[in-house]
Structure 1
Amino acid sequence: MQVLQVQLEVGADPAEVGRARRWARSGLAGSGVPADDPLADTLVLLVSELVTNAVVHTGRPAVLRMTVSDGGGGESRGGAVRVEVADTSARPPAPRHASGDAMNGRGLELVDCLADRWGWRPEGTGKAIWCEIDRVDRAAVGGATCQGLAYEAV
């Protein structure tokens, strides 16, 4: 099984979210997930949501980690991609359901909808929030449906 593990330190500035998205897209392309693959778009959106949450809700730097595995045997579409963001706040994530006209509050709801798995764990004096997506042809299995959520991968 081939595994690529990379990490990026993200500053406390919300402008860092764009840099994290570009870094993730580049890392995915380098590990065999082309930029035009719907999987890349979904993963970049998940990176954006998790990094935004870390930076906005803690006001402190964070560490973005990405692990891409091929599932063994050289299969290009097997395995999974794991995105993880560690911050120095011990406060656990608090998923909520935003009202229809709210400008924010949908991040973890979107992560829950798009990821195959997600969770969090204590790490050092803070926590790490992670999500995983299996590397399968999402169109062949029907893709994800996030009812009531409008979103766009940028």
Structure 2
Amino acid sequence: MQLEIRPDPAEVGRARRWARARLAGSAIAADEPLAETLVLIVSELVTNAVVHTGCPAVLRLCLPQTPAPEKATVRLEVADGSTRAPVPRWAECEETGGRGLALVDGLADRWGWSPEGAGKRIWCELDRRDAPDGAAAACPDGGALAYEGLAYEAV
């Protein structure tokens, strides 16, 4: 599934709505923490493409279909026409931007980028993990904790 993105900030909201609509036909429930995390990352990566490249972009989602295994991987990609590599920044407290890739790094299980044609493709993957109700579960790679019922909301 893919969505063409124009270099216009209004496209970020459209990309979030599109991602939520795609979730409706997948094995990821809209109220699942993974769904909100996915929408937040869509928002960050599309914002980066729109704001920092000024080029059209393409958003792609690979979602597990119903029925999905207990553990499934969601992949999202944003391809744009800029050859500039994505560089995570350390934003100062007062700055209103500059945290997008740090957020993606903290929320995604894996992410990276690669040159593609005359531009690049930024990708990330999120693994669905089941945890006991209300409990914290350590990530298999020793990373951060995942809490059942904790969600991030992109508005």
Shared fold by TM > 0.5? Answer: yes
Report the TM-score when normalising by structure 1: 0.84
CA contact (8 A) 2:71 2:130 kept: no
Q: What are the superposed Cα offsets for residues 107-153 of structure 1, whole Å, 9 maximum, x if unpaired?
A: 00000000000000001100000110001136652417xxxxxx742
Question: CA contact under 8 A between 2:28 and 2:64: conserved in structure 1?
Answer: no
Paired residue total: 140
Q: How far, CA to CA, are the matches of 1:90 and 1:102 in structure 2? A: 26
User: 3-state SS of the aligned residue for 2:146?
Assistant: coil
Q: Which sections of structure 2, spanning at least 5 residues, go unmatched?
A: 138-144
Structure 1 residues without counterparts, runs of 5 or longer: 1-5, 145-150
Matches within 5 A, 1:1-154: 6-69=1-64, 74-137=67-130, 140-141=136-137, 142-143=145-146, 152-154=153-155
Could you report, residue by residue, the CA deviation over 1:40-64 in whole angstroms, capped at 9, with x for unpaired residues?
A: 0000000000000001001111000
**What TM-score does the superposition give when structure 2 sets the normalisation length?**
0.84
Per mean C-alpha deviation after superposition, the further-off stretch among 31-40 and 56-65 is 31-40
Poorly superposed stretches of 4+, deviation over 6 Å: none
CA RMSD of aligned residues (A): 1.7
